Amino acid sequence: MSGATILAEEAALARALIAAQAVTERAAMLQDIATLTIKVDTLSADIRVMVEAWKAANFALSAVKWIGSVVMAFSAFWFVVTHFGEGK
């Protein structure tokens, strides 16, 4: 074999090695993207659950406030009737 043939073969091997390395790096990047996609999906589901919990808590708080307001109004009405009603 001549020196030029050996150099050509080494260059071809170097190009093949670089191509294989690029494929490996691309596969690793695709795996990272898949992992990130899974994490984003999980976070999205977690956020959905938190939003639903917040809505339920907000509804419960509103119901408690509404019930409290009705009770206060009834108490005030009852106080007026019992203390300032007829015959007092």
pLDDT in tens, 8-65: 888 888 999 999 999 999 999 999 999 999 999 999 999 999 999 999 999 999 999 9
Residue at 64: amino acid letter: V
Q: In this predicted model, which residue has the larger pLDDT, 1 or 66?
A: 66
CA 60 to chain centre: 24
Residue 5, pLDDT score: 83
> pTM score > 0.75 for this model?
no
Residue 1, pLDDT score: 65
Sign for the CA dihedral angle at 11, 17, 20, 22 comes to negative
Structure tokens at 22: 């690029």
Residue 58, pLDDT score: 98
